[in-house]
Amino acid sequence: MITTIAIVTFAVLVLVTLGWALLRHHGPAPDLQTLDTYTKPVDLAAFRNLIDPSEEDYLRGHLPAGKFRSIQRQRMRAALEYVQRTAYNAALLMRVGEAARQSENAEIASAASALVNDALRLRMNAGLAILFLYARIALPGSRISVGRVTDVYESLTAGLLRLTRLQDPAAAPRISAAV
Amino acid sequence: MHLSATDYLLWITGPVLLMLTCAVALRRRLVPEFPVFFAYASYHLVRSAVLFLIYYRMTPAHYFYAYWIGQGVSILLGFAVIYELYCRVFQNYDAIQQFGGVAFAGIAILLLAAAVLSVGSAPGADAPGISKAVVLVERSVRGMQCGLLLFLFVLASRFGLSWENYLFGIALGFGVFASIELVAVAIRAHVGLTAATALSQVNAAAYGCATMIWLCYLLAPLSVPQNRSIIVPHNDLEKWNQALLRIFQR
């Protein structure tokens, strides 16, 4: 009986997921005109401060161990929120990039393709970063490292330089402010 | 065994819709894009016709063996279609082009292990030995197919991937069929042969539903690039990534 209930529940979960995917697939896709209503702002300076190693070392050296762990947990939770926002915005950029990939202009299509792949890499690495941050929330006193991922990020720079050359000067400031 | 009008209607509906699906795929020259799916649909079309003939011209034993041998091939083709979906969903993205095949293999192994573990739960007591085995295998297979499709939708959502319309329709139809079939098989495994006729009709209805979904998505107009100027937005991906990089560099 328990197995039957478990299997039926699983099948219902699959059907619900399909329904949700159906709604998402046919839902409105963000375009450039409305992009700023969908994106979530990211305060990059604050984010950098939260993950700054020297800042962490300073707090570690000047606070009692218990207080440091408490504050460090709060800092990592805040950093987590920023990472989640960047991943969310990257997903939006991917959808905009997908639309631009269909452009008849080969240069725009190529740049859009690069944007999509860059955003995809960001989402993948944001996923890794989220796991990393959860580990640091659980063990605030530790110095956990997941290694270097510089190779992934280097390719982003080249793609973005190419995209910047293609942007519309009139729309650029608004879009830039939005994301 | 006597078949009611409902049985005939359900038996005929699936193949008719499938025939239309194949015709639309050929007319729109979509076969090279989904060769495995087209093979699956064609196979089911031929299989339905052959089973229909065997049902009326030969003995029930012949029909039994023809049905279950055909079902074995159908199951293998079903997994091949899901593999094709995995490859197609990821292939448009350079960053994760090879990920589809790897993800399919990994998830399939996990689900196979779960299916083997669930074998301990025996089907209904009134079912004969061979039926028990068949129901158990069918339940495991449908469970694996549901799991593979669930993971595919979840992975696509987590990565923020977009689906081509046809691809989405094929996956949706398959998912609806596999999940309804899973419920039917699980209930049959629990209650035994008493609900066999009703559940057989549910199975046929689910299949008709899946073929209807496939047909609708194949008939949907192709998405045409919009004429308006499409601009790639300026963005802060580089800065975000540099900031993320600092997390990893600790």
Q: Which of B150, B160, B243 lies at the smallest CB-CB distance from A90? A: B160
Task: Kindly report the CATH number assigned to the domain that includes residue B108.
Answer: 1.20.1070
Say how far apart CA B95 and CA B14 lie, in whole Å. Answer: 39
Write down how long chain A is: 179
Examine residue B247 and state whether it is found in any structural domain, yes or no: no
- Chain segment B136-177, per-residue pLDDT in tens: 788 888 888 898 999 999 888 888 787 888 889 999 999 999
Q: Would you say residue B234 lies in a domain?
A: no
Q: Which of residues 179-218 of B touch A (CB under 8 A)?
A: 179-180, 182-183, 186-187, 189-190
| Average pLDDT, rounded, for chain A | 74
Share the mean pLDDT of chain B: 81
- A105 min Cα distance to partner chain B (Å): 9
Q: Looking at the 3D structure of chain B, how many domains does it have? A: 1
Q: Do the Cβ atoms of B122 and B132 come closer than 8 Å?
A: yes
- Best residue in A15, A26, A83 for a mutation probing chain B (most B CBs within 10 Å): A15
**pLDDT value of residue A154:** 39
Q: Count Cα atoms within 13 angstroms, Cβ side, for B150.
A: 19
Residue A99 φ/ψ, nearest 5 degrees: -65, -40
Which amino acid makes up residue B174?
Answer: F
What is the reported pTM? 0.73
Whether B90 and B99 have beta carbons less than 8 Å apart is answered as yes
Q: Looking at chain B, which residue has its C-alpha nearest residue A103?
A: B225
Residue type, B231: I
Per-residue pLDDT tens for B97-111? 777 788 888 888 888
Question: Quick one: tokens of B49?
Answer: 């016709």
Distance from the Cα of A74 to chain B's closest Cα (Å) equals: 16
Does ipTM exceed 0.90?
A: no
Question: Which residues constitute the domain of residue B11?
Answer: 5-222
Give the integer Cα–Cα distance in Å for B247 and A132.
Answer: 8
Spans of all domains in chain A: 1-30, 31-178
Question: How many angstroms separate the CA atoms of A113 and B92, rounded?
Answer: 9
Choose, out of B224, B244, B249, B250, the residue to mutate when testing the contact with A (most A CBs < 10 Å).
B244
Compute the distance between CA of residue A32 and CA of residue B155 in angstroms, rounded to an integer: 26
Indicate whether B155 belongs to any domain.
Answer: yes
Residue B204 has which token pair?
């046929």
Tokens (6 digits) for B29: 């020259």
Asked if residue B17 is part of any domain, the answer here is yes
- How far away is chain A from the Cα of B54, in angstroms, using its nearest Cα? 33
Residues of A in contact with B244 (CB under 8 A): 83, 86, 122, 125-126, 129, 153
